Structure 1
């Protein structure tokens, strides 16, 4: 991160010092454990902290229990540092504007006088904008992932200039929607990227294999990993990757490819026994040990549809057909399952598993039918015309039947589940139809839902469905993407902005909250906020461009 400052006054001159610290809480989710630390002062001042007794491949409260946290800044003449109790170190800076370059060597329990590791810079007299004060913060584990094939390690680089250019692009794109939308996506991008890690393996001589990030045919599952933060800690959960997917397509689709690659590689071995797509690659991050017994959390229509939709959108966005070619058998297998179970979904959970299972879910059927239609496009890209025609017929027939099954008796809205006319929910799965420009569902459905949501909105948004008054911010933004007028769109965007800025949560941006009063419902710091980038994706897809890379 970088800090720059400029004075807004001419006289008297502004004197400015900058302070920042991290605590030993970075290295454990259990504050009763003992940490130790060190500080080096070469060209870079670096604090390093870790557990005295680490436990590899384990987590507590979404915190890793091994590896080291690092906090650094260039060792300039105006830079100072200190480690010690939080109240002591912070008071030192408040009183003098500098730190004494002192080291605390009393290694102790994290909660004992809360050790912090501080850095400060004296910027002196400030008039025009100062040169950026650069701090680097991170956590290093080696190996990163426990995989049946081989452990993997991590690397990173400083991309400050590119980050500035990226910030400008995000602001320009988001401002085309609204200032509220810009605020949402700027907050979301940092958090969503903070949930993923790139991994590489080592060569036989112990050196890093710099080319390993690129997908290869050998059986090594993980090229990029993501934790299901703040729920159950699963590894590379498909229905967590899916809501975050717009972020990856918008910023760098290769990141999405690496996330999908892990799931594809494992399931292509045949070790996962179910005919639908797997839910995750390991019950607890960072253990990518798979589910050879098939006893992962079963969300069959959801995950199968997700994998097909993401595969098509990646192929269309990039022109890279390697995934859909290499894993066409898996994609076909999942589509066959959707043909069996998506029109009238059996009693099952969706990605919103906290809401409980339900049979005949209208929105889940949308996901499955779009998955079948997406497979038609995949087969067209692969030149398999006969298969494409077959899937097209199924998708078209299912949409016709779905319109009858999902309609409320009043004709004013879609139901939450077939036959329950008093029920309704966010039809966020329709966003994939709009994003991919499949034109599968009739425009009358979108017009109807746009009108309906305006009648049931609460102060902080539209409830997820009629079973509760809570909602999810990612699905609200996706629903905003299917609205047929700007008032409907802005209803959802404004609600998410109010939730993000209401001050009722001290936790990182949560995606699950109460629409009546803006209270958080438990989730925090999750990657799914990458779904807030849905809107900038809309111009990227066009049916007329699908033949460009055949």
Structure 2
């Protein structure tokens, strides 16, 4: 049995709650990277071969235990070839999937699949391995002869079963392992989403009674079942992955002898290594083949395997501690939340690769760390902004450093000459793992469309952009530039007044889907950014009335809610022609739930999501978008990292911290300000929020790395963290530029007046583009702001128009669209203009201001 310390008894209570409900359709077994993602059917694990995330029954993986000469299979799908074990129960925690079996009448067996989430150690997190382990105890008080057997097949190596694989078996005093790879690896290629350049491993600690062999499928398992020993090894070292059922499998057996119970867990590890893991185009245009980060500490894969195996007990303890924290924090909010976070955590971090670059001398550049994310289950893009936005609550909760490392390559790309578009990039490439950058032309100043809808003046979309402007004010304040902060904040209020006048129903009960459409409604999930960033823009009465509306909607005659939830709004893409809800978005629903002021309404939004997860109609791992009819069928986002959104309520509970500007920087005395984790860290709110979030991550970087990365000193990295004592300033403007290296000891130039002049120019140079009453009122508000601004006495020059900057002429660019242009109504265009103006101002500000970003106090 797995003996659990008394300090985590609470987790058993939560697990009992989960186990008392119907099991989820699918559970994670080993989910560690975009190409290492094994799942199984939760309700009948013995009758199904484990799955790759998008293909049923394609990963050969078998486990058996032999008790007193009788073999019982606990995974593999070979029933009825072998005796059945009876499933006694199951549990799922954020890092573990646990099954309890009964083998015959004499032994109870626990099988645990553990994929650690290493919140404080990038080296450990980057090792692409997962544990599974067995504990057994006699049920009759008598000793019994036990032997165990596990194997995997070459199906882990490729989605093309006709390809040729090669293998090697290694046995040292420390470890015993098989490794499998294609005879001709196809770098950065996929077949049915499986990578063509993976080396798969099955490993265990070397010990007396441990044996390993490569044998043909039928002979290997049948020989063990009959004799308790392994079959003879086949002579060759290569073959087809699958050859009419006669393909080889890679097995390990352990003879435990005559025992009453296992005195320690019997552990194996399975892994999938790719090196390099990603092709990244640098700001200079060179293609950089980046390696798994663990190479900064281990000279080869075998060393990493040895370390991973020896770390098992400590890794399990760390995982139990993390499980306890996550489930404890979630249970304080809602039992329904405890369920969904357990089912999404491995899925989110399992879509990422932690990488490092290599210098020209062959040494690893430990200060150059980047994390890349695949849009698993949808587009396959690299670091897609909208998926980062959805997943960020998870990363902010476990460690904000991870959030910064995900954003860094995006910001680096946008600051380079490789990117020439007028708006922030949507991703780093269209096909993972090629992070070539995406220079595709688009007009998404904020998004301009959302959830497959492109109505003008979408209330939920516009509030995201307004929050982004306020995020810039918060950043300015954190940097001690209070005049800039006041100007941004005042302009935010002008935009907000228009939003409040047009986006709220006349009776004040809900946020409308589009301005002025009194027959519409929306979940308004982007209000979550206001809560997370603590901008305080949205009046509390709006949250309360929105909550009351959904409380009434769930019981009204025109309710669109089904057993699996409700659509995100009353827009056409969410409803059929008959007005019946057709699809829901799990990520955005949890964002909206986190903003509800009534716990019962919040839970009413969360529970149907769990209901969909546990329904038998969910035929693939947990999805982002699914049908709301009785089928609950997946539409997109199966196994998506976007379900990091399930941590949205937890991210709101992050503690307050002080922002402190380094003493070496000469700043006003007001530079220290009270804040929380959220204000400058939060999610990606359009293009500006990329800036907001990376600054927040940098604020955390120094504090978290000094305290939480035990491997830093071992690697010879300086005490301030993984970065050298220089700061990379990223130009977020559309104009081509390069990141500049600036010594952190440089005193800032005197630029307050210049910054104010630039901001005034930004807010005054849009020109007479639109002429509605609301636009004219906005212009009058702008004039009032200029009248009280200290820059009013300074002459300004209207920037000239070019292909790489925000246009100021009605004849150029999306901001010059006429009121009759699709998507070009005043409020949308006004906000787009301001976003572009802000970005242009930020470009100039950064050219003037070179001081280091502040860091959080310890």
TM above 0.5, one fold? yes
Where does 1:74-85 land on structure 2 (aligned, <5 Å)?
74-83=205-214
* 1:253 to 2:384 alignment: no
Deviation at 1:187, TM superposition (A): 2.0
Match of 1:196 among 337, 346, 352: 352
1:336 paired residue number:
none
Match of 1:23 among 140, 153, 156: 153
Deviation at 1:12, TM superposition (A): 4.4
Distance 1:372 1:191, change over 3 A: same
Q: Which moved more, 1:355-364 or 1:105-114?
A: 105-114
- Counterpart CA distance in 1 for 2:243 and 2:529 is 47
2:318 paired residue number:
162
What are the superposed Cα offsets for residues 209-266 of structure 1, whole Å, 9 maximum, x if unpaired?
34432xxxxxxxxx21111112221111121111111111111211111111111111
Where does 1:39-438 land on structure 2 (aligned, <5 Å)?
39-42=169-172, 43-83=174-214, 89-93=220-224, 99-100=230-231, 102-103=233-234, 105=237, 107-110=239-242, 112-113=244-245, 116-123=249-256, 130-148=263-281, 149=286, 150-156=288-294, 158=308, 160=315, 161-213=317-369, 223-291=370-438, 294-295=439-440, 299-302=444-447, 348-350=448-450, 352=451, 355-408=452-505, 411-438=508-535
Match of 2:567 among 453, 457, 463: 463
- Counterpart CA distance in 1 for 2:341 and 2:259 is 31
Distance 1:284 1:180, change over 3 A: same
Contact 2:275 2:292 in 1 (8 A): yes
What are the superposed Cα offsets for residues 527-547 of structure 1, whole Å, 9 maximum, x if unpaired?
112221122222225598772
SS of structure 1 residue aligned to 2:409? helix
Contact 1:6 1:126 in 2 (8 A): no
2:611 paired residue number:
498
* 1:5 to 2:138 alignment: no
Distance 1:209 1:95, change over 3 A: farther
Deviation at 1:490, TM superposition (A): 0.9
- Counterpart CA distance in 1 for 2:238 and 2:268 is 25
Contact 1:435 1:541 in 2 (8 A): no
Which protein has the larger Cα radius of gyration, Structure 1 or Structure 2? Answer: 2
Distance 1:537 1:100, change over 3 A: same
What are the superposed Cα offsets for residues 468-502 of structure 1, whole Å, 9 maximum, x if unpaired?
22112222221111011110111122122212222
Taking structure 2 as the reference length, what is the TM-score of the superposition? Answer: 0.53
Contact 2:215 2:232 in 1 (8 A): no
Match of 1:34 among 140, 159, 164: 164
* 1:484 to 2:484 alignment: no
Distance 1:116 1:211, change over 3 A: farther
Deviation at 1:515, TM superposition (A): 3.0
Runs of at least 5 residues in structure 1 that lack an aligned partner in the other structure: 214-222, 303-347
Contact 2:203 2:270 in 1 (8 A): yes
Contact 2:177 2:204 in 1 (8 A): yes
Contact 2:621 2:638 in 1 (8 A): yes
* 1:528 to 2:628 alignment: no
Deviation at 1:295, TM superposition (A): 1.0
Greater percentage in strand: 2
Deviation at 1:376, TM superposition (A): 0.9
SS of structure 2 residue aligned to 1:152? strand
SS of structure 1 residue aligned to 2:673? coil
Deviation at 1:137, TM superposition (A): 2.3
What are the superposed Cα offsets for residues 12-43 of structure 1, whole Å, 9 maximum, x if unpaired?
45666554444333232333433332322223
Contact 1:474 1:528 in 2 (8 A): yes
Taking structure 1 as the reference length, what is the TM-score of the superposition? Answer: 0.81
2:624 paired residue number:
511
Distance 1:139 1:401, change over 3 A: same
Task: Report how many aligned residue pairs link the two structures.
Answer: 491
Contact 2:167 2:238 in 1 (8 A): no
Runs of at least 5 residues in structure 2 that lack an aligned partner in the other structure: 1-130, 295-303, 554-558, 575-581, 660-671, 675-853
Match of 2:673 among 529, 547, 550: 547
- Counterpart CA distance in 1 for 2:228 and 2:636 is 38
Deviation at 1:126, TM superposition (A): 6.2
SS of structure 2 residue aligned to 1:55? coil
What are the superposed Cα offsets for residues 335-382 of structure 1, whole Å, 9 maximum, x if unpaired?
xxxxxxxxxxxxx333x3xx3433322211121111111111011011
Deviation at 1:277, TM superposition (A): 1.2
Distance 1:447 1:87, change over 3 A: farther
SS of structure 1 residue aligned to 2:200? strand
- Counterpart CA distance in 2 for 1:233 and 1:450 is 35
CA RMSD of aligned residues (A): 2.8
Greater percentage in helix: 1
Distance 1:471 1:122, change over 3 A: farther
2:542 paired residue number:
445
- Counterpart CA distance in 2 for 1:40 and 1:386 is 65
Contact 1:278 1:296 in 2 (8 A): no
- Counterpart CA distance in 1 for 2:256 and 2:602 is 44
Deviation at 1:8, TM superposition (A): 7.5
SS of structure 1 residue aligned to 2:176? strand
Contact 1:436 1:541 in 2 (8 A): no
- Counterpart CA distance in 1 for 2:263 and 2:367 is 38
- Counterpart CA distance in 1 for 2:333 and 2:198 is 42
- Counterpart CA distance in 2 for 1:423 and 1:198 is 43
Contact 1:504 1:520 in 2 (8 A): no
Q: Which moved more, 1:122-131 or 1:528-537?
A: 122-131
- Counterpart CA distance in 1 for 2:219 and 2:421 is 57
Distance 1:200 1:99, change over 3 A: same
Deviation at 1:180, TM superposition (A): 3.1
Contact 1:433 1:439 in 2 (8 A): yes
SS of structure 2 residue aligned to 1:151? strand
Distance 1:87 1:498, change over 3 A: farther
- Counterpart CA distance in 1 for 2:243 and 2:624 is 29
